[in-house]
């Protein structure tokens, strides 16, 4: 199972607290740390990514939206919003083994992401998100099951994922789970998630 911590420094309580959480999660076996700090300028984002890389032995650091920062810092991958150019457009400038994932909100977007060369996809929202308001209705487990069976690439469940419902997502075919609250809450026993 792939466990992906998506960052939110504001929800964490600042960059220093976020970096401590990243280090804790990497030590506990979280597989991917997706740095998703959309409002940071390139210099500040690069500084955060570089510091995260120093603290992430064993976990892959993936940068949200910014190929320039991901490549300049030596991150393991890039995560793209659903309306981005396809992963195949980025491949010529990426090193071998560089992961490129896509956020998807429909089965059709998942199929398109795979066709466009994505290595993985996040599918959301499965449940009502815990960290933000989302006008989209939650898909639920049956749609997640259909989504996962429609592609060969790994699909990670996102949106309202908790230690209690993560197993249901895996049973529905998800290759893993992703989240903010799941990995940033001091109370969450994230390392026990299936």
pLDDT digit string (tens) for 159-194?
A: 999 989 999 999 999 999 999 999 998 665 555 454
**Model pTM?**
0.94
pLDDT average, residue stretch 3-17: 95
Residue 26: is its pLDDT beyond 50?
Answer: yes
What pLDDT sits at residue 188? 54
Tell which wins on pLDDT, 91 or 134: 91
Residues 6+ apart with CB under 8 A from 43: none
- Which residues contact residue 130 at a Cβ distance below 8 angstroms, ignoring those fewer than 6 apart? 160, 162, 179, 180, 181, 182
Tell me the pLDDT tens digit for each residue of 65-90.
Answer: 999 999 999 999 999 999 999 999 99
Residue 86 and residue 104 in contact, taking contact as beta carbons nearer than 8 Å:
no
Q: What is the distance between the alpha carbons of residues 126 and 160, in angstroms, rounded to a whole number? A: 7
- Averaged pLDDT, 115-119: 98
pLDDT value of residue 136? 82
Q: What is the pLDDT of residue 113?
A: 98
The model's confidence at residue 57, banded by pLDDT at 50, 70 and 90, is: confident
Average pLDDT of 20-26?
A: 93
Mean pLDDT for the stretch of residues 10-33: 94
Question: CA-CA distance, 30 to 146, in Å (whole number)?
Answer: 26
Which domains does the chain possess?
2-192 (3.20.20.70)
Query: What is the rounded distance in angstroms from the CA atom of residue 34 to the CA atom of residue 110?
Result: 19
Q: What is the DSSP letter of 138?
A: P
Closest of 87, 77, 18 to residue 51, by C-alpha: 18
């Amino acid at each position: 199972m792939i466990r992906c911590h998506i960052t939110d420094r504001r929800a964490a309580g600042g960059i220093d607290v976020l970096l401590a959480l990243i280090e804790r999660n990497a030590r506990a076996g979280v597989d991917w740390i997706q740095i998703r700090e959309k409002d940071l300028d390139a210099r500040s984002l690069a500084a955060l990514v570089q510091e995260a890389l120093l603290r992430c032995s064993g976990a892959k650091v993936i940068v949200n939206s910014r190929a320039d920062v991901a490549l300049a810092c030596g991150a393991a991958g890039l995560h793209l919003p659903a309306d981005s150019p396809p992963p195949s457009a980025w491949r010529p400038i990426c090193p071998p083994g560089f992961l490129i994932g896509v956020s998807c909100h429909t089965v059709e977007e998942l199929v398109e992401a795979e066709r466009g060369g994505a290595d993985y996809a996040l599918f959301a929202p499965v449940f009502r998100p815990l960290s933000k308001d989302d006008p989209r209705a939650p898909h639920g487990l049956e749609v997640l099951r259909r989504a996962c069976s429609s592609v060969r690439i790994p699909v990670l469940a996102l949106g309202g994922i908790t230690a209690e419902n993560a197993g249901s997502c895996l049973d529905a075919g998800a290759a893993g789970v992703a989240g903010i609250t799941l990995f940033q809450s001091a109370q969450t026993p994230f390392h026990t998630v299936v």
